Amino acid sequence: MKKMWYEIKRKINLENTYFSWIGILSIFFIVGGFSFAIFTAYQESRGSLNIITGNLYGYIDSESFDGNKSITLSEEEDKIIKITLKNVNEKEIKINLYYTETDRVEVYYLDEEEIPPKEEGIVLEKGEEKTYRIRLINKTKEEKRVEFGSEVGLSSKELPFPEEKRIIDQYLYSEKILNEADPVLRDRLIPVIIDSSGKVTYANVQEKWYKYDEKEWANAVILIDNPSKEYQVGNQIEEKDIESYFVWIPKYRYRLWSLGLDTSLTKTANKEQSIEIEFGLKNTNDNLSNECTTPMLSGATGQCQIGKWMTHPAFLAFDTTGLWVGKFETGNKDATDSENAKQNINNSNKVQIKPNVYSWRYIQIANAYQTSYSYERELNSHMMKNTEWGAVAYLSHSKYGTCNGDVCTEIRINNNSAFVTGFSAKQVPTIGWNAYTDYGETLPSRDGDKNYNYLNPISTISSTTGNYTGIYDMSGGAWEWVMGVMFDNSGKPIVGESTELTSGFAGKNGDGTTSNGTVFPTDERYYDKYNYSTSETAYNLRILGDAISEMGPFENTVINTATAPLASWQKATIFFVFNKHPWFPRGHYPRSGTSASIFTANADRGQEHGNVGFRIVLAFK
């Protein structure tokens, strides 16, 4: 950067003939007794701009300029750029950045500090430079071009400003610790703040509405098609008008503490620890000594080693800056009790993701997948993948979630045996699996003898953050199918292989040749693929980041007369998929006690079960 500025300064100090042709193009006029010129630019090959106004020089630089001081945005693109201003004069100057009027493209400063008031402009002392992060949001379905310019003058004078230009005079809230992985909003998603009583308020995106450094995750809601009233920023949103809640998981990398290759069942050490996480958009790679390229393949390690940083795989499949994850298990909109919430159908119109509703269960993998996929196509809705579950689990088990220093609090089980979302057990379980009896069937919006409902602030002990901004039902509640499936040795998903396997997908070839079901998705971004095995403890076939084998080592333990492999992390029961049970359900169910955990995993056939549901994720750019 120093060399770059030196070259610019050198050009400006060349003999006067260097700028003589620019002077011919400049148009002078007088304001308040001082000479100004309309913006004139010299476009360098690398996309930088010299700003010459009268005898004052300013300098704008952005690596994002694609010619003629402009930025091209693809359809619905949300893009962050950096613009650097430099004063190369012998006196203090003032600069106003502007951009051309563009229909349905929004331009914001991202940093609250030092945002220039419209009437004052950006003041730069002699030799000073300032860099601003600017966010451009194209809200159209066509390519748009935004052109930037500047007015330069003495800091003591008012700048002339063409009325047809727009000064960037407001900012979009951004948290620096996220390193540009801030929440992205589109279409029906409304940003909200949830206070300590659970009240939901339409958030002003130009003020603080999340703070990951303080364990406050960003939330957004989708309203029902015909809400009872129109909502504006600052309004409290009534619960009856909310269809679904979502929580933002920013893109991050984490430091590897295990490669998950230990397949032994003899517990040797407890490796549970706070997971180190760094937010940001850049992908890790093998070219740097302290990081590695994310393998993203079953059983693969690549160049990764313990101690290196690795981008979590959940953010790579769709190349997103983050994920909007369903805040609760998916509920059945028409259900009035636990029993009629069980429907093995494909119907996205029945989706609701809310607290104090009955979880949608008894649904095959195929119907859960198709329902999720069809829910909000414009927002790339889909059924949660195994690695996406892992992304939430790791963020929760960090200083941004349930950990303070090296001490992490386990998420409390949802022990409502009526499968109502957002509940938490009053007592910490002391016994596991079917021996656990401290559960209760409790009606929505009411505390039970053994549990708290979501509207009771104490229920936040079952949140991934320990407060209302987190994600619920990831320990207990219903088991949740995730899109993580085993493939056979010929490269075909093990679905429909026999009458025993009733996942609902049509044929293991995905060609519709067998009876009931949806064709297996051909787009590999929507599922995690696991290599073939006949063992339910083949942990070495993990995908790094899926929150399964990295939770080892494991030991075989007898729980209520049954033998199960327990992870060293939170005593979670973790079974791996195998040829007869090729699908992962996660989280356990209300009667599981100590066996329930955000790290718990099982293996099953993918058919309908009365205690298994699903969760929806949005992954758009």
Q: How far is Cα 545 from Cα 248, in angstroms, rounded to an integer?
A: 18
């990398």: which residue's tokens? 253
Cis omega before residue 553 (within 30°)? yes
Instruction: Quote the mean pLDDT of the chain.
Output: 85
More confident residue, 459 or 437: 459
Q: Which string of DSSP letters, residue by residue, matches 528-563? A: EEE---S-TT-GGG--TTSSSGGG--EEEEEETTEE
Structure tokens that stand for 290 in this block? 């302290």
* Residue 61 DSSP SS3: strand
Asked, for residue 22, whether it belongs to a domain, the answer is yes
Asked, for residue 59, whether it belongs to a domain, the answer is yes
Asked, for residue 395, whether it belongs to a domain, the answer is no
pLDDT for res 378:
93
- Kindly state the helix (H) or strand (E) to which residue 391 belongs, with its residue range: helix 386-396
pLDDT band per the 50, 70, 90 thresholds, residue 41? very low
* Average pLDDT, integer, range 113-123: 68
Which amino acid, 398?
S
Asked, for residue 143, whether it belongs to a domain, the answer is yes
| Chain centre to alpha carbon of residue 9 | 42
User: Is the pLDDT confidence value at 438 over 90?
Assistant: yes
* Average pLDDT, integer, range 37-60: 40
pLDDT band per the 50, 70, 90 thresholds, residue 14? very low
Asked, for residue 426, whether it belongs to a domain, the answer is no
Q: Which pTM was predicted?
A: 0.87
| Chain centre to alpha carbon of residue 535 | 33
User: Is the pLDDT confidence value at 230 over 90?
Assistant: yes
Q: How many domains does the chain have?
A: 1
pLDDT for res 40:
33
User: Is the pLDDT confidence value at 507 over 70?
Assistant: no
For 235-270, the pLDDT digits (tens) are 999 999 999 999 999 999 999 999 999 888 987 778
Asked, for residue 267, whether it belongs to a domain, the answer is no
pLDDT for res 565:
92
Exposed/middle/buried for residue 240 (C-beta within 10 Å: 0-12, 13-18, 19+): exposed
Structure tokens that stand for 244 in this block? 């679904």
Asked, for residue 549, whether it belongs to a domain, the answer is no
pLDDT for res 91:
82
More confident residue, 12 or 591: 591
pLDDT for res 112:
67
Enumerate the β-bridge partners of residue 108: 135
Strand locations in 182-241 (E)? 190-194, 200-202, 219-223
Q: How far is Cα 479 from Cα 584, in angstroms, rounded to an integer?
A: 10
Q: What is the CB neighbour count within 10 angstroms for residue 605?
A: 20
More confident residue, 241 or 516: 241
| Distinct helix (H) and strand (E) counts, the chain | 4, 36
For 451-502, the pLDDT digits (tens) are 999 999 999 999 999 999 999 999 999 999 999 999 999 888 887 544 455 6
pLDDT for res 99:
86
pLDDT for res 413:
97
More confident residue, 355 or 516: 355
**CA nearest neighbour of 416 among 355, 472, 470, 478:** 478
pLDDT for res 115:
64
* Average pLDDT, integer, range 174-183: 94
pLDDT band per the 50, 70, 90 thresholds, residue 59? low
What DSSP designation does 452 have?
A: E
CB 97, CB 148: distance < 8 Å: yes
pLDDT band per the 50, 70, 90 thresholds, residue 50? very low
pLDDT for res 445:
96
For 329-379, the pLDDT digits (tens) are 999 999 999 999 999 999 999 999 999 999 999 999 999 999 999 999 999
pLDDT for res 517:
65
Q: How far is Cα 568 from Cα 560, in angstroms, rounded to an integer?
A: 19
Task: Write out the residue range of the structural domain in which residue 88 sits.
Answer: 2-172
CB 388, CB 322: distance < 8 Å: no
CB 566, CB 554: distance < 8 Å: yes
Q: How far is Cα 271 from Cα 259, in angstroms, rounded to an integer?
A: 12
pLDDT for res 451:
97
Which residues, at least 6 apart from 476, have a Cβ–Cβ distance to it below 8 Å? 413, 414, 415, 425, 462, 587, 588, 589, 590, 592, 596
pLDDT for res 32:
27
pLDDT for res 384:
98
- Kindly state the helix (H) or strand (E) to which residue 564 belongs, with its residue range: strand 562-567
Q: How far is Cα 520 from Cα 505, in angstroms, rounded to an integer?
A: 6
pLDDT band per the 50, 70, 90 thresholds, residue 514? very low
pLDDT for res 27:
26
Enumerate the β-bridge partners of residue 80: 135
Exposed/middle/buried for residue 2 (C-beta within 10 Å: 0-12, 13-18, 19+): exposed
Beta strands at 351-352 and 612-614: parallel, antiparallel or unpaired? unpaired
Share of the chain above pLDDT 90, in %: 62
Q: How far is Cα 443 from Cα 420, in angstroms, rounded to an integer?
A: 7
pLDDT band per the 50, 70, 90 thresholds, residue 515? very low
For 206-219, the pLDDT digits (tens) are 999 999 999 999 99
pLDDT band per the 50, 70, 90 thresholds, residue 47? very low
pLDDT for res 505:
85
More confident residue, 102 or 126: 126
CB 144, CB 168: distance < 8 Å: no
pLDDT band per the 50, 70, 90 thresholds, residue 535? very high
CA distances from 155 to 85, 152, 231, 464 (A): 15, 9, 42, 50
Q: How far is Cα 151 from Cα 39, in angstroms, rounded to an integer?
A: 6
What DSSP designation does 617 have?
A: E
For 378-426, the pLDDT digits (tens) are 999 999 999 999 999 999 999 999 999 989 999 999 999 999 999 999 9
φ, ψ for residue 619, nearest 5 deg: -140, 80
**CA nearest neighbour of 141 among 380, 378, 381, 382:** 378
User: Is the pLDDT confidence value at 6 over 70?
Assistant: no
More confident residue, 207 or 36: 207
Asked, for residue 184, whether it belongs to a domain, the answer is no
CB 259, CB 546: distance < 8 Å: no
Q: How far is Cα 513 from Cα 503, in angstroms, rounded to an integer?
A: 15
